[in-house]
Amino acid sequence: KLINRRTTWYKALFNASQYALSVGVAGLVYQFVGGVVGSQDFLKYVLPAALCAFIYCVINSILVTIVISFAQQVKLTMVWRVNIKEMIPSYLSEAPIGFLMAIVYVEVGIIGILLFFLPLLLARRSFELYTKMRKVYLDTIRALAAAIDAKDPYTKGHSERVAGTSVALAQELNLSGRDIENIEYTALLHDIGKIGIADKILGKDSSLTKEEFDKIKEHTVMGAKIIEPVDFLKNSYKAIYHHHERYNGKGYPDGIKSEDIPILARIIAVADAYDAMGSDRPYRKKLNHNKILRELKEQSEKQFDPEVVKALISVLDRKREK
């Protein structure tokens, strides 16, 4: 994970300090530009309040970005893209709420604030339940992915590795937070259709016959059908169905090409091939790093989306630098 959510004393200290600094500076700016604390003429001070909220957001986001970058040894721009920009809608919605709370406090007093907080606490509780449910979903998917990989001893941990690489590629390509979350689910389950493929075909240590390869190719369609009834996986259907398409249109099941292939499918195709080439298989030993890179570059614009290949090379180069 980009952010380690485990609570420690120094994280609690940082959070308290950065909130105090952000609020303190924002309050000083509010007063400096003409805002008056406790005034009941609120419309007169809308602009100072807006500037106050803006300064708070800027200071808060900069401090959080810097500390995550140092703690996780991740580029500042990467932290911003993956985490902070997702907080902007939250900032925009919370600023008016803060302004309303100030009005309630001046007009009603502390009782008004307590009543105001009740629905906010309920909303927070709902979000906590959603987060826990999402974790249960993800743990269930991981267990299912492990069961799929267990059918073939050569692919143990394959789905987890493909998911990790896919998430890194999605981040490198600056996909939305929702797409990054979706690709983790999807990549974990990209081979779920292999449940319906006979073990003797999956583990065969010699060349597959045409009939056997045709059977293998069915796993994309079969996998998409398996997850289709699951509502929270509805965005995974196309990526699972198309993850063996080729950029030049010579893949399967539909033979579509280029941008017609969903971006999540194009990412998983590269991540899948990268892990497969770096793993031992019944019919060959794993390839070394240089051979894998050469193969990826040679198949760019043929089998793989060239932009995704470039993204993978960037991710690998940065990893080697560390």
Whether the link from the prior residue into 253 is cis, omega within 30° of 0, is: yes
Q: Give, for all 322 residues of the chain, the pLDDT tens digit.
A: 333 444 577 778 888 888 899 889 988 998 888 888 766 666 777 888 888 888 888 888 888 888 887 876 767 777 776 666 666 667 677 777 777 777 777 777 778 777 777 777 787 788 778 778 877 877 878 787 777 777 665 667 888 999 999 999 999 999 988 899 899 989 999 999 988 888 888 877 788 889 999 999 999 999 999 999 888 888 899 999 999 999 999 999 999 999 999 999 999 999 999 999 998 776 678 888 899 999 999 999 999 999 999 999 999 988 877 6
User: What pLDDT does residue 303 have?
Assistant: 95
Domains of the chain in start order, with CATH, are 9-107 (no CATH), 131-321 (1.10.3210.10)
Amino acid at 82: V
3-state secondary structure the chain: CCCCCCCCHHHHHHHHHHHHHHHHHHHHHHHHCCCCCCCCCHHHHHHHHHHHHHHHHHHHHHHHHHHHHHHHCCCHHHHHHHCHHHHHHHHHHHHHHHHHHHHHHHHCCHHHHHHHHHHHHHHHHHHHHHHHHHHHHHHHHHHHHHHHHCCCHHHCCHHHHHHHHHHHHHHHCCCCHHHHHHHHHHHHCCCHHHHHCCHHHHCCCCCCCHHHHHHHHCHHHHHHHHHCCCHHHHHHHHHHHHCCCCCCCCCCCCCCCHHHCCHHHHHHHHHHHHHHHCCCECCECCCCHHHHHHHHHHCECCCECHHHHHHHHHHHHHHHHC
In the block, tokens 């600023």 appear at: 95
Residue closest to 68 by CA, chosen among 55, 77, 59: 77
* Beta carbons within 8 Å of 134's beta carbon, 6+ residues apart: none
pLDDT of residue 283: 65
Q: Which of 145, 186, 194, 150 is nearest to 166 (CA)?
A: 186
- pLDDT at residue 2, rounded to an integer: 39
- The answer to whether 268 touches 183, Cβ cutoff 8 Å, is yes
